[in-house]
Amino acid sequence: MNTLSYGLLSLLSKNSRTGYELMQHIQPFWPAKHSQIYPLLAQLEQKGCVEFVHVPQSDKPDKKVYSLTDTGLKALQEWIGMPTDAPATRDEFALKVYCIGLVSKAEAMKMLVEREDYYIKRKVHYTQSFEKLVKLSEKPLEELEMDEPLFGNYVLLRKALHKLDADLNWCEWMKSKLK
């Protein structure tokens, strides 16, 4: 079973969801299009890792709400315990920075400003997610224990925000280098 399959099971371990919702929520972890997710869900259902109920809707198209089965949960727990491969970071921007000397300073500066804008937008987005999480949680986030459902969201959001700060600092530093 591939990583995306386990990713879908990971999301389903917290909430039952439709394929459409899974597509939306898997993006930060393992971006995928619906054309990949729907067939995988069918496969997972065949294997008995997930099950679904057909939910008719009047205002919107009908949907299939998927849930994790016991089989799926066991598969998920086994996968978590397995050694994790190093992430294969594919970074187009880094490639461009690597040979940034091939373009003018003005163009290089434009690249950095655009990147910075992108980071800032992400920071705003993640900050909002963080605030939502604070409201959603019954206790202060720092007091969340590992087995509570929001723990994963909290620690990953914190990581993402720290990374964004580092990226923004790097952008500032780079811009000062180009002056």
Task: Answer with the entry of DNA, its own copies, none that 105 interacts with (C-beta below 5 to 8 A by kind).
Answer: its own copies
Please give the DSSP secondary-structure letter assigned to residue 138. S
From 43-51, 53-61, 131-139, 167-175, span contacting its own copies (CB under 8 A): 167-175
Amino acid identity of residue 164, one-letter, is L
Q: Which residues of 69-97 are buried (b: 16+ CB within 10 A; e: fewer)?
A: beebeebbeebeeeeeeeeeeeeeeeeeb
Task: Answer with the entry of its own copies, DNA, none that 79 interacts with (C-beta below 5 to 8 A by kind).
Answer: its own copies
Amino acid identity of residue 153, one-letter, is N
With respect to DNA, which residue has the nearer C-beta, 62 or 147? 62
With respect to DNA, which residue has the nearer C-beta, 18 or 71? 18
With respect to DNA, which residue has the nearer C-beta, 5 or 69? 5
Task: Answer with the entry of DNA, its own copies, none that 101 interacts with (C-beta below 5 to 8 A by kind).
Answer: its own copies
Identify residues 57-76 at the interface with its own copies (CB under 8 A): 73, 76
Please give the DSSP secondary-structure letter assigned to residue 153. H
Q: Among 108, 116, 128, which Cα is nearest to 164's?
A: 116
Q: Among 95, 94, 76, which Cα is nearest to 11's?
A: 76
**β-strands 17-18, 63-68 pairing:** antiparallel
List 46, 89, 138, 140, residue binding its own copies (CB under 8 A): 89
Task: Point out which residues bind DNA (CB under 7 A).
Answer: 2-4, 18-21, 30-36, 38-39, 41-42, 57-65, 88, 90
With respect to its own copies, which residue has the nearer C-beta, 55 or 173? 173
Cα 96 to Cα 10: distance, rounded to the nearest angstrom: 34
CA distances from 91 to 88, 96, 98, 143, 154 (A): 9, 9, 11, 35, 26
Token readout for 170 is 């790097």
List 42, 134, 163, 172, residue binding its own copies (CB under 8 A): 163
Judged by the rule CB under 8 A, the positions of this chain that interact with its own copies are: 3, 6-7, 10, 13-14, 28-31, 73, 76-77, 79-81, 83-103, 105, 107-108, 111, 114-115, 118, 146-149, 151-153, 155-156, 158-159, 162-163, 166, 169-170, 174, 177-178
